[in-house]
Amino acid sequence: MIQKHYFTTFQNHSQSLVKKKFIFVNMKIENITCIGAGYVGGPTMAVIALKCPEIKVTVVDLNKERIDLWNDEDLSKLPIYEPGLADIVKQTRGKNLFFSTEIDKSIKQSEMIFISVNTPTKTYGEGKGQASDLKFIELCARQIAKSAESDKIVVEKSTLPVRTAEVITKILKSSKKGLNFEILSNPEFLAEGTAITDLLYADRVLIGGDSTQNGQKSIKALVDIYKNWISDEKILTTNVWSSELSKLVANAFLAQRVSSINSISALCEKSGADIDEVAKAIGMDSRIGSKFLKSSVGFGGSCFQKDILNLVYISKSLGLTEVSEYWHQVIKMNDYQKNRFSSIIIKSLFNTVSDKKITLLGWSFKKDTNDTRESAAIYIADKLIENKALVSIYDPKVSEKQIYNDINYLKTRSSSDNKKHLNVHKNVYDACENSHAIAILTEWDEFTKLDWGKIFSTVVSPAKVFDGRNLLDNQKLEKIGFEVFSIGK
Ligand X SMILES: NC(=O)c1ccc[n+]([C@@H]2O[C@H](COP(=O)([O-])OP(=O)(O)OC[C@H]3O[C@@H](n4cnc5c(N)ncnc54)[C@H](O)[C@@H]3O)[C@@H](O)[C@H]2O)c1
Residues tagged active-site: 303
Residues near 8 by beta carbon (within 8 Å), at least 6 away in sequence:
none
Q: Which of 20, 48, 55, 61 binds ligand X (CB under 6 A)?
A: 61
Whole-angstrom distance, CA of residue 197 vs CA of residue 419: 38
Stretch binding ligand X (CB under 6 A), from 25-33, 34-42, 228-236, 292-300 = 34-42
Number of chain residues interacting with ligand X (CB under 6 A)? 26
Please give the distance of CA 289 from its chain centroid, rounded to a whole number: 24
Stretch binding ligand X (CB under 6 A), from 184-192, 230-238, 263-271, 406-414 = 184-192
Task: Decide if residue 368 touches ligand X (CB under 6 A).
Answer: no
Identity of residue 485: F
Task: Decide if residue 375 touches ligand X (CB under 6 A).
Answer: no
Residue 136 beta carbon to ligand X: minimum distance, rounded to whole angstroms: 4
Residue 132 beta carbon to ligand X: minimum distance, rounded to whole angstroms: 8
* Nearest residue to 89 via CA among 50, 31, 35, 40: 50
Residue 414 beta carbon to ligand X: minimum distance, rounded to whole angstroms: 26
Stretch binding ligand X (CB under 6 A), from 59-67, 265-273, 395-403, 420-428 = 59-67
Residue 97 or 455: which CB sits closer to ligand X?
Answer: 97
Q: Which of 190, 205, 245, 308 binds ligand X (CB under 6 A)?
A: 190
Residue 40 or 49: which CB sits closer to ligand X?
Answer: 40
Q: Are 336 and 477 in contact (CB under 8 A)?
A: no
CB atoms within 10 A of CB 288: 13
Q: Which of 23, 34, 36, 93 binds ligand X (CB under 6 A)?
A: 36
Q: Which of 29, 40, 168, 438 binds ligand X (CB under 6 A)?
A: 40
Q: Which of 8, 12, 15, 63 binds ligand X (CB under 6 A)?
A: 63
Residue 329 beta carbon to ligand X: minimum distance, rounded to whole angstroms: 21
Q: Which of 45, 278, 303, 407 binds ligand X (CB under 6 A)?
A: 303
Task: Decide if residue 117 touches ligand X (CB under 6 A).
Answer: yes
Q: How far apart are the first and last CA of the chain?
A: 68
* Nearest residue to 384 via CA among 431, 342, 341, 336: 342
Residue 154 beta carbon to ligand X: minimum distance, rounded to whole angstroms: 13
Residue 118 or 296: which CB sits closer to ligand X?
Answer: 118
Task: Decide if residue 140 touches ligand X (CB under 6 A).
Answer: yes
Task: Decide if residue 62 touches ligand X (CB under 6 A).
Answer: yes
* Nearest residue to 131 via CA among 139, 122, 123: 122
Stretch binding ligand X (CB under 6 A), from 36-44, 275-283, 329-337, 345-353 = 36-44
Task: Decide if residue 41 touches ligand X (CB under 6 A).
Answer: yes
* Nearest residue to 393 via CA among 354, 440, 457: 440
Q: Which of 116, 262, 265, 418 binds ligand X (CB under 6 A)?
A: 116
Task: Decide if residue 35 touches ligand X (CB under 6 A).
Answer: yes
Residue 308 beta carbon to ligand X: minimum distance, rounded to whole angstroms: 12
Stretch binding ligand X (CB under 6 A), from 37-45, 209-217, 220-228, 378-386 = 37-45
Q: Which of 20, 23, 32, 39 binds ligand X (CB under 6 A)?
A: 39
Buried b (16+ CB within 10 A) or exposed e, 32-58: bbbbbbbbbbbbbbbbbbbbbeebbbb
Q: Which of 29, 37, 50, 205 binds ligand X (CB under 6 A)?
A: 37
Residue 479 beta carbon to ligand X: minimum distance, rounded to whole angstroms: 39
Please give the distance of CA 417 from its chain centroid, rounded to a whole number: 30
Identity of residue 218: S
In angstroms, what CA-CA distances link 437 with 361, 379, 384, 391?
11, 17, 12, 10
Residue 59 beta carbon to ligand X: minimum distance, rounded to whole angstroms: 9
In angstroms, what CA-CA distances link 320 with 247, 309, 312, 398?
19, 14, 9, 40
Whole-angstrom distance, CA of residue 385 vs CA of residue 408: 12
Residue 159 beta carbon to ligand X: minimum distance, rounded to whole angstroms: 4
**Which residue's Cβ has the minimum distance to ligand X?**
38
Q: Which of 302, 310, 324, 387 binds ligand X (CB under 6 A)?
A: 302
Stretch binding ligand X (CB under 6 A), from 110-118, 384-392, 417-425, 443-451 = 110-118
Q: At what angle do helices 16-26 and 213-226 cross, to 10 degrees?
A: 70
Q: Which of 133, 151, 182, 188 binds ligand X (CB under 6 A)?
A: 188
Q: Which of 92, 96, 109, 158 binds ligand X (CB under 6 A)?
A: 158
The sign of the torsion formed by the CA atoms of 229, 234, 237, 242 equals negative
Whole-angstrom distance, CA of residue 461 vs CA of residue 71: 49
* Contact set with ligand X (CB under 6 A): 35-41, 61-63, 66, 103, 116-119, 136, 139-140, 158-159, 188, 190, 192, 302-303
